[in-house]
Amino acid sequence: MVRKSSLFVTLALLVVLAFSAVAGADNNTLVIGSGAEAVGLDPRLETDVPSFERINLINQALVQFATNMELEPALATEWSVSDDTMTLWFKLREGVKWHDGVPFTAEDVKYTYEWVLNPENGALNMGLYADIDEIEIVNDHEIIFRLKQPNAFLMNNIARMPITPKHDGDRVDFRQSPIGTGPYKFVSWTRDDRLVLVENEEYWGGRPNIPNVIFRAIPENSTRLLAFEAGEIDIYQGGMVAQEIGRLEADPKYVVQRTPGTGYTYLGFNTKVGPLADVRVRQAVSYLIHREGIVRNVLNGIGTPGIGPVSMSLPWFNNDVVRYDYNPEKAKELLREAGYEPGQINLRLFTNENPDRMRIAEILQYECMQAGINVEVIIEEWGAYLARVQETDDFDIFILGWSGQLDPDRAMIRQFHTNGSNNYGKYSNERVDYLLDLGRTVPQESQESIDIYREAQEIVVREVPYGFINYTEEVGLHHPYIGNWEVHPYGAAAWQDAHLMTKNK
Amino acid sequence: MFRYIVRRLIQMIPLLIGVSIIVFLLGHLAPGDPVRMLLGEEATQEDVERLHAVYGFDQPLPVQYFRWFSRAIRGDLGVSIRQTIPVSTLIFERLGATVELAVVSVFIAVLLGIPLGLFASTRRGSIWDYLTMIVSLLGVSMPGFWLGLVLLSYVALHVNWLPMFGRDVSIMTGLVTLFTKFRADDLINAFRFLLLPALALGTSMMAIIARLTRSSMLEVLSKDYIRTAQAKGLKKGVVVVKHALRNALMPVITMVGIQFGAMLGGAVVTETVFAWPGVGRLVINAITQRDFPLVQGGVLMMALIFTVVNLLVDVCYALVNPRIRYE
């Protein structure tokens, strides 16, 4: 009898507890729903955006990109680049402490870069810093980088490398539990589930307004959106459900922020083998890309029609290049000029299983067929696809995208220089090579730099090694009770100023 | 029986070696390079060659395999290329979530499926029979991801106490707090987060069990010994449960075993929809990233679990049907 009644009490207790509501996080905790889990949290080793979204709350670079894409002080308060772009000088912020209380000094900066440049450590981004020859510590808060060869844009790469502590950076599990100088401190990480951070009360930029931040990894976009609508997450981060954007923008319960991104999607052409070796055929295909239609119907308006390799928001952007507005008549004329009868050209177009890219491929296939070009669309698994594009010339056209194109050097030299590491279509133009080499030797703020890259864009767009499809757009989605947050054009930098954010639910 | 189990365990060794060779070859012969996947679209040739040497991918395939194999038999499954964490750590930290989800799903499926099948079989041809079979047909036909999203949009979004995603504490932790601190909140939390994913995962299995139980029961109920039992004047319930069901359960147990073994390999779709941190997502991500050590280790673990579960199922036969003897 006693046993029975205690069982009953337990059951009653269970029922009461079960019906107590799920308490959403209170005003002291910011919950960010992220589309992908971080690979790791060591800025020297990671290359993916989801990792850097999180790292940038914990660790900081010498300089960072503001939302207008200009460099602003972070761990360095002042800096200068010599006229020959061979020497970089930094004045470091004083009074900054690591999360364990040890002071931050120039030794940490030197340590971080030397670690990255040591091939034994297997830093994936080593190539971005390969031009650094030596690092000289002037005093605890002053440091000089000397380069092997001019590189005016190295500053932008420096903005992508948060500094790690010399006294702790060699710890075996640093990648799983880092310490930094940023506004939030690492607490715990359950992979594929949650990363928990707590405020750095002594943060040099001011104590954070929201004491706790939790990143939740929710891979399925629909689930993440439902969790956002149910109020279980405060901010929706990562791939947007494009069909839903109209509804969300119209709903006063949510705030949708949009800003031009730093990437673009393109058709890559094989400029050495097959009919596309003729520039007129490439131009014809570019005239057949219905950019407005693709942005409107495939991307649901998220993005803008492509023009060239440099983002429209950067000062180097050249607006006076040839425009390939959709024009089938012009395309047919170019094909006739090149000596092709309708039906004579057969092309193989490759893409991976990305749904947007597959639809773009189908649309292009149809448009090309109308103009007398037969296109076979072949869809491959990502790994196999990347291997084909990067390691062979066994393709006519492929669809890929670039992200994080923060300056014209990054957007062009690897892609269009004859020796470029990502020049998969084997494009080659002496003048372009000359301009892209020259651009690195000129300070990036100068008019000369702008002139150099505008000319390079003009040639590249005219000769069509790429058919530019669309520029990307960054979308931020949050509840109206979140304040002081702006969606960043460069996704990885989204949370670098999280200490300013507010939550009043 | 003991000798039988030992023999089965020994037979597993060549099986697992075979699996590991197949996985190794499939991984390495498929196009796609782990280093390029790691470096992404911005890879330079120098970086690729440098990292090939770091990870030993510049060695001939047999050399790579035997290096891996000689470490694996000592229990060292290597380190994930992408995350630089031991493969065994990555698998074990997610295994709990996967086992929990699989056990609860099977529990739901068996607890609902067998009574449903029994109910339908004893009312053969009636409206109840057809209704049960239509429901189970629906259950078999609904894809897991769809059912998962439906449960989220129409149940979780409106029922305040059901969470939308993720996992809180494990059932084990919940039981520990219940018995040590006499608090049930952890255990309830564990079940709150488990309920929808387990329903989404268990529904199709439940439907299959219901259909299988029904057809198997119908076959047994037409047997002579059932008629004898009935003729002896035994109660209907005793005949159905004690005489018929025990014999009808054999194919059901086989099916449950196979499905359970497969679930322990991770339910990728359910795990993705509900952001459940299980091994399925881990291994699928490893495959798309060509993280060879993790793929090899993960598949080897799955094969091991699957064969062990199969063995347990065979042992269960003997418990359910004492006539079965293993020599």
Residue B258: predicted pLDDT: 87
Flag whether pLDDT at B324 surpasses 90. Answer: no
Residue B54: predicted pLDDT: 79
Q: Tell me the DSSP string of A54-69.
A: HHHHH---SEEE-TTS
* Residue B324 or A333, more confident: A333
Tokens of B104: 């609860």
Provide the percentage of residues in chain A whose pLDDT is more than 70: 95
In terms of CA atoms, which chain B residue is nearest residue A400? B41
Flag whether pLDDT at A306 surpasses 90. Answer: yes
Q: Does B153 contact A at CB distance below 8 Å?
A: yes
Flag whether pLDDT at A1 surpasses 70. Answer: no
pLDDT, one tens digit per residue, over A151-177 is: 999 999 999 999 999 999 999 999 999
Residue A13: predicted pLDDT: 47
Average the pLDDT over A450-474 and give the result: 96
* Residue A294 or B301, more confident: A294
Q: Tell me the DSSP string of B278-318.
A: -HHHHHHHHHHTT-HHHHHHHHHHHHHHHHHHHHHHHHHHH
Flag whether pLDDT at A383 surpasses 90. Answer: no
Flag whether pLDDT at A21 surpasses 60. Answer: no
Q: How confident is the model at residue A2 (pLDDT cuts 50, 70, 90)?
A: very low
Residue A20: predicted pLDDT: 43
In terms of CA atoms, which chain A residue is nearest residue B80? A39
Contacts of B63 (CB under 8 A, 6+ apart): none
| CA atoms of A437 and A327, how far apart (whole Å) | 35
Alpha helices per DSSP H over A79-216: 106-117, 154-158
Flag whether pLDDT at A4 surpasses 90. Answer: no
Average the pLDDT over A232-254 and give the result: 89
Among A119, A223, A391, beta carbon nearest to B50? A119
Flag whether pLDDT at A380 surpasses 60. Answer: yes
Flag whether pLDDT at B322 surpasses 90. Answer: no
Q: What is the ipTM of this complex?
A: 0.84
Contacts of A353 (CB under 8 A, 6+ apart): A379, A380, A381, A382
Interface of A with B in 200-219 (CB under 8 A): 216-219
Chain B hits for A193, Cβ within 8 Å = 166-167, 275, 277
Q: How confident is the model at residue A24 (pLDDT cuts 50, 70, 90)?
A: low
Flag whether pLDDT at A5 surpasses 70. Answer: no
Residue A431: predicted pLDDT: 97
Question: Are A230 and B164 an interchain contact pair (Cβ–Cβ within 8 Å)?
Answer: yes
In terms of CA atoms, which chain A residue is nearest residue B281? A192
Q: How confident is the model at residue B169 (pLDDT cuts 50, 70, 90)?
A: confident
Name the amino acid, one letter, at B302: M
Residue B327: predicted pLDDT: 58
- Name which of B165, B167, B171 to mutate to probe chain A: the one with the most chain A Cβ atoms within 10 A of its Cβ: B165
Give B66: exposed, middle or buried? Use CB within 10 Å, 0-12, 13-18, 19+. exposed
Flag whether pLDDT at A16 surpasses 90. Answer: no
Question: Are B164 and A216 an interchain contact pair (Cβ–Cβ within 8 Å)?
Answer: no
| Average pLDDT value for chain A | 92
> Beta A373-379 vs A345-351: how paired, if at all?
parallel
Instruction: Count CA within 13 A, CB hemisphere, residue A304.
Output: 14
Average the pLDDT over A52-69 and give the result: 95
Predicted TM-score (pTM) of the model is 0.87
Residue A7: predicted pLDDT: 53
